[in-house]
Structure 1
Amino acid sequence: MPKEKTIKRTCNNISKEITEYPKTNVILYTDGRRSYQYVVKMEGLYPQPSVLAFSQGKNKYKIPDCYCVETTWGRGNNKRTVKCSINYVRDKPHFRIMYGLDFSEEVCSNMSSTAAANAVVRKLFPNNEKTLISGIHLFGIHLKTLKQVRENKKENINQSKPLKPLDLCSKSMVYKRQRNFGDQLKEQVQIKGIKIYGEDQVTLKRILYNVNHTDFQINYGLKDNEEKEKKLTSIVQIIDQNYIPREGYRALTAIEPDLEREWIVSDRRHKITRIMDQKIMISIINIPIVPTLNELDFDESSNILNSEITEINNISNGGHRSAKDILKYIIPALALNGVLDVNDPIIHLRISGDGRNVGRRLKQVMITMTILNDIQNIHKPDHHYTTVLFPGIENYELLEIMMMPFIQELDDLKNYGLKIDEIVWKFELYFSSDWKFLSICLGFNAANSNFFCPWCQISKHGQNNNQTNWKISKEIEKINEYPGHNKRPLFYMISLNNWVPDELHIMLRIWDRLWSLVISELKESNQFDDVCRKEIMQEMSRISVNFQFWKEHGADAWNHTSLMGDDKLKVLKNFNLGRILPPTRAKKIRELWNRFNQIYFNLKTKDYDVQQFQFEVEDWLELFLTPDRIIPNSNRIEKGLYSPSSITPYIHVLVCHISEFMEIHQKWGMKAFSCAPVEKKNHQQVTHFFRQTLKGGGSKHKLVIRDILEYENRSLFYLFNDNTISSSKPKKLHIED
């Protein structure tokens, strides 16, 4: 039964408190004339004696701090409920009463509870100005039940026994103290939060503290497993994309305890790997042909030789990921994002290939595919999806075996499409790579053969005749009828118009030719001496290009630094030829270089006028082939530029075929067929995954090829799953002890 407390008063009315507090937070009070119902929100506490304030009048009730109660009084239409709170501000009690809908309005007083009470009564009963109410009763300051609870709490604190030192406590006792401390701290934060921040809610998320050189951390709130999983996935993604080794991350966690433990992150990575392995199967293919050192080609300047990469021998396995599995995974997401149109279900799928040196005795060959419809991401390496990967050489027979499952899938996609969620997606296929890889996949001659062009029937003799009217004339269906096409194309299902030359390699190889012609000219005129080489290196340094000349031990020929694409463009634009050539000669060659630089820029510009481009390249070729000229009224000869024999296959393609490709593929632009992202992807994988690997090409338990393809699977998971976590940067404050 609820207990009753009877208070004798000077009048004949009897006061009562009816409650089961603290089992329930409701207290009923009546003084015989008026009844009040209190719902205790915070019982508060009495401040230190030096600060404690008392009510006015003869009773001198103690005024609590951090106190909040909802009070209901009156009957019928006059029944009202208000929220009363008391907080000490600068050691003085501050009385606040909230009223109205959702307690959206308030009155305050720093004078007395009665002043605040009468102010709110005037707001609630504006037509009855004579109505008054006791502030003591409205706030419940007089309630003996709460007074006893507050004083008992204070007495318990004062009479508590000395606590055992933390070092002597059991694990369960340490946990109990930490839990008790956290609960009480949370309560005090909520109490003080109202005083400092008012109605703005204060939520305690986490605290860190130290007891006797032992660090403690308490996290508040319900465990959000979904948010934690997202955070772990984001950490795994960052580690993967930045190639952070386990040892490096483990070292970071040793000095930053807030980071997730390495084993937890590793477990999440394995889970993602297993999920993706079920969606996109990885197959290991035996390599039947072991390349010899003589078969390897390390001449291409795009390849690397990294001393940190371990020499790898006896690798006999490659890997394959199903193109259909990859497409089934990414197409729904691309359709949802509006990249693909379900009402026009045609996917433009581009295939590419690249080979890159791994150490001194091996190449990594990579076959990728990307979706041209996703034009915003076409230049990002992660959006070129690896389908075939193997260590070996760029060789027709080897490629034919390693790509057999992929070729069959492409044939099915071309002929039957791919059904996903009752929608049959049709495919238009394209291929783009450097000249060597393209010729191999086309089953065609090398670039130095008599019939060297994959698209027309020009021969070296026709090239020397300086003809520029060669157009794309071959057909993939009759490809083996043309000279030089000795083998069936590996991608026989792709129209020859869709075998697109790589714009990046056009620039790289024509730059190589222009630079080699300048060096040859210096050698022919016996100017390629130490002074000249020093001038070249100084000029390279001026334009921020790292460039050196050197001789191999026991050799007479001079070697020089093989430049990457960006550095070649710097030289093309900014190199001062006047430092190594006579002024008139330097001016002519500079004009040739400037025009080529502009042509390359126009080539990459989508929607550039095709006829204008063709005029520009023919005009450039005419300048390139400027003949020697006899100066009138003189026996002197003004030297021209270069002869038709200096024209390379890439120059032929630039002049004769690029404008055709620009017109055919105007929807995408030539830049969409750049192999730069594929080469970057291959470079990243080689420099990371083959560094410090064992001679078997991986760890003791896993092939490096599988490691790479599992990484590729996880990359797809990151791309097409929302792993973003919302975390605002906190406002930090340092308070000195």
Structure 2
Amino acid sequence: MDNFSTRTFQHDYPNNPYIDAEYVSGNRIFYSKYKIIVLGYYPQNVKYTKKSKKSTQYQIPNEYIVKTEVADRMLHCKTKYISANKVLFTIKWKEDKAKWEVSSKRSSSEVISIFFKKINWEESKLSGIFVFGFDIEILHQERIKKLQKLDTERIVIDKRKRPLNKLSISQQNKRLISFGQDAYQKINQLILKQRLTSKSGKSIRICNIELEAENKIINLKYNLPVDITKLNTLVRVHDEALLGRDGYRKLAAVEPHLTCEYQIAQRRNEISKLINNQIPIEIFNIDQKSIIDEDEDYNNSDGILVDEHEIGNIN
């Protein structure tokens, strides 16, 4: 597929979920048909397709599902971000009554290659970009419109909601989580609008948002990577300083940038499990009376067996 014309699309999307594609390679005309199941969206840390000498890079949406036909099989192609910098590409299909599924964390083209090997099809250089339809311009425009819509929506205050300080701790947490999700979408839109990207096209990402409410600092964190070395150090400091959970929480209330207490507790449990696996601990019932052979002569009235040859001279 090195020599092909730009693909053209026939559609009435979003009124109609079906999209027809056509492109020319050599003297042959190729057709593809898509059914958009879920449009998906561009996350803040949007990833791009791999760049080759003759291809353009395309943004990879999250939670995107499309149905298309390849090798006489109807495929369901899906994308899902499994971390800040990893996308899982999945293909599902049916053969008779059996259901099959293959995945790849590297690229859409690799999962296509895995699919062809699975069905014992002749090796193909079919592009993952084409199969997943990442180059369909109307889908890209609709995802951008969704982001822009957030900026034009009229703010309506729900007066039925009680003020934050009138809620219980669990209700406050739910309210703040909802706020954090909305803020994520808004700021992500501004990042795309202002093109806050690196030279390679990678967008900047939000690490945390700090809020202040009645002299209380609230820190909303977004998928921060966990530093295992730092967690190990914190667990050791906790144990050596005999710093309890409540004490650390009070300290974190003053300094919100501290590592969350629950992460330290989880790491302590992981370390304990590793130690228990490497150093087995057996439990004995010491309440049971020792059974002693009455025919043997023991000079020790306490019932402790002593080998006299092991005792040295006592001055």
Q: TM-score, normalised by structure 2?
A: 0.45
Q: Which has the larger radius of gyration?
A: 1
**Structure having the larger proportion of residues in helix:** 1
Larger strand fraction of residues: 2
TM-score by length of 1: 0.20
